[in-house]
Amino acid sequence: MTETGFPLVVIVGPTAAGKTALAIEVAGKFNGEIISADSRLFYRGMDIGTAKPTLAERKGIPHHLIDVVDPDETLSLAIFQQEVARLLDEIRCRGRLPLLVGGTGQYVLAVIEGWQPPAVKPAPEMRIALTTWANEIGGDALHDRLALLDPQAADAIDARNVRRTVRALEVILTSGERFSEQRRKLEPPAGQILIGLTCPRPELYERIDRRIEGMIASGLVAEVRRLLDQGYSPELPSMSAIGYQEIGRYLQGAITLDEAVILMKRRTRLFVRRQNAWFKPADPRIRWFTLCDDTGGEVIQYVRQRMRYA
């Protein structure tokens, strides 16, 4: 135990590696509560395409930061960090073990490393100008401009995330300093136990394929159609997520359903590679486990051992 109570158990790994099932098993064993660090799970109504844990899976295990904003809203990194800090205090006060679980590397590292976003006030006029520019030249081209000014920041920001690219350029052009150099660090949560879950690449790709095919069978097309019918623009950052963008194009008649599925599988494989850049096998902070029949038992034993000394 730490001075603040239970340690923070963090479970990371690539998409489709089995993080959700593992987290539920560990939380059930240690009377835990799960905090989602998957930015796709924040959105209400986006369930199938995000592989959101079902209500049945969540039964008996409190889950947090799932279904907290609508698809046309945002949950900034700063607000996410504030919410996690609040939840950690509340979960520990209840005498329960907190688990931070997800594959969004930026959000996980912001918590475990105590990132503090740049203290630069928003510049609305600059933001409007940059957004207009992005619409004219395209998100990829705007990201290329960021790479010229701040390669480190560009490496950390997905080119499809135009909003974050705009914010990085806004900070640079307003302050005259690189965005990446303005990221300060606060004291991270004490007593962290970092667990990585992985599996051989061919097996992971098979799991990805089965997951995507299962999404289609479970009604992903109807889910995307409902979101579009509710007025959510396909241009929203949330609707550019894997699955929603491709099915949206299918519903617009731009591609066939088979083509959409192929693109989903391709984009997910590329996403897995980017996730690996956030959490590397050589990272000494992380104890990696390979997915197998008894992975849950191995992780539970490891957590139990670490809790004696955390």
Q: What is the reported pLDDT for 180? A: 74
Which of 159, 182, 205 corresponds to the end of one domain?
182
Work out the pLDDT band at 38, boundaries 50, 70, 90: very high
Using alpha carbons, select from 137, 136, 134, 183 the residue that is nearest to residue 162: 134
Sign of CA dihedral 148, 149, 154, 160: negative
Residues 175, 194 within the same domain: no
- pLDDT tens for each residue of 260-305: 999 999 999 999 988 888 888 889 999 999 988 789 999 999 999 9
pLDDT greater than 90 at residue 231: yes
Residues 151, 198 within the same domain: no
In this structure, which amino acid lies at residue 192? Q
pLDDT greater than 90 at residue 181: no
pLDDT greater than 70 at residue 135: yes
Structural contact between residues 64 and 36, judged by C-beta atoms closer than 8 angstroms = yes
pLDDT greater than 70 at residue 226: yes
Structural contact between residues 291 and 199, judged by C-beta atoms closer than 8 angstroms = yes
Residues 102, 153 within the same domain: no
Which of 182, 203, 222 corresponds to the end of one domain?
182
Q: Quote the CA–CA distance of 286 and 288 in Å, as a whole number.
A: 6
Residues 21, 154 within the same domain: no
Domain limits at 287? 8-116+186-307
pLDDT greater than 90 at residue 26: yes
